[in-house]
Amino acid sequence: MQIISDLHIHSKYSRACSKQLDIKNLKKYAKIKGINLLGTGDFTHPEWIDELKSNLEEDETGILKTKTGFPFLLSSEISLIYSQGGKGRKVHNVVFAKNFEIVAQITDVLKKRGRVDYDGRPIFGIPCPEFVELMKEVDDSVEIIPAHIWTPWFSMFGSNSGFDSVKECFQDQTKHIHALETGLSSDPEMNWRLSQLDKYSLVSFSDSHSFWPWRLGREATVFELDKLTYDNIINALKTKQGLKETIEVDPSYGKYHWDGHRNCNVVYSPKESIKINNICPRCRRPLTIGVDHRVEELADRALGFKPEGAVPYKKLIPLSDLISSVYNIGVATKKSWQIFYDLINKFDNEYNILLNVSREELAKVADEKLADVIIKNRNQEIKIKPGYDGVYGIPIIDENDRPKEQEKFEIKCRQTGLNDFLTG
């Protein structure tokens, strides 16, 4: 059976998340997206775990189910902030658990080190090696996955607080790390450039803060299993057997792909940043160094290298973003929703539309321009203006539609900033 999973999400009890993020909406929009396994997110939060227990039933498979049979896997993101090697470290990890009893034990252990009731993504001053050891002492079935490993602020390889290797981060507990979440701003091909990552399963999840279809499942991991069980999922992560592929957005779409300063409205490729010593030409402070730059720093292989046995992947921009870009409307406008649901009602779910439905069939429901863009998206032919410093990348549907004066203005701003900086 094919399992399209999004196992890193949040609930309404996490900061900066939708207050309507509940089981009902998660199940509804997961089906619309085409996801057939969700993480619960936030299992340490006392109010959320009560809701999970009220809405989900557990059995011997280790997979929880709603009354109608939609499956969830117990998951939670934990933020670790501490010092190591004379540097402040901020690393997020995703934790999977097999049942409510194990979750209760995990929560009890963490409550001895801090609070869990103020945020679905709680913060602890526990070093990563100690954290993994604590989790494995609770139960050996607990799985820990470093989250969005390249983002600048809160990740294992982050440019502002991260490490240069998995071993440096997890030390003697590295043996318990089997999978790495690549994050929106990188894709497997970028990670293949580091030989140290060859033995790890590369997974992708949305880290969604809402249930809307342009967030939930925007990245996903596809398993092919004989039976959906917790143990089979974890075994696939450990061995790569049963790990079919990942679904990614183009890494340029991610909020931290290139370098820049959002407040200064400047964005640079890694090569451009190096020319100006990674200093913003406007405020003269260090740029936020993005994922592309950080990968280049740690890579020991050329771009394009593919390890033997590498798990394949697809790159897709969410359907709502395509509709928004084609018609120059917001993703949540009435017109956008109407076009979106016309397609969903005809073709069942978003993944089916993006991956399988022919252009001819699409054009019968949508107009030909949108049908063409969906096919271009499927064939990875859409360019993206790279995201930077918390700003999402922007799909460029048609270069001819982009205002030439705006393009000239952006180029002039960048060149002026560079020239002013270089000439002092």
Under a CB-based contact definition with an 8 Å cutoff, are residues 333 and 325 in contact?
no
For the chain, the structural domain boundaries read 2-253, 318-381
The per-residue pLDDT for 147 is 98
Digit-coded pLDDT (tens) for 167-211: 999 999 999 999 999 999 999 999 999 999 999 999 999 999 999
In eight-state DSSP terms, residue 387 is P
The per-residue pLDDT for 135 is 98
Cβ partners under 8 Å of residue 186, min gap 6: 149, 150, 251, 254, 257, 291, 292, 295
* 3-state secondary structure labels for all residues of 60-107: CCCCEECCCCCEEEEEEEEEEEEEECCEEEEEEEEEEECCHHHHHHHH
The per-residue pLDDT for 401 is 54
Overall average pLDDT of the 142-147 stretch: 98
| Percent of residues, the chain, with pLDDT higher than 90 | 93
Averaged confidence pLDDT in the chain: 94
Cβ partners under 8 Å of residue 386, min gap 6: 252, 257, 258, 267, 269, 290, 292, 393
pTM as predicted: 0.93
- Superfamily (CATH H level) for 2-253: Metal-dependent hydrolases (3.20.20.140)
Digit-coded pLDDT (tens) for 376-421: 999 999 999 999 999 999 999 876 655 444 454 444 444 444 444 3
What DSSP letter does each residue of 136-152 carry, written as one string? HHH-TT-EEEE-STT-S
Residue 111, both tokens: 């409550």
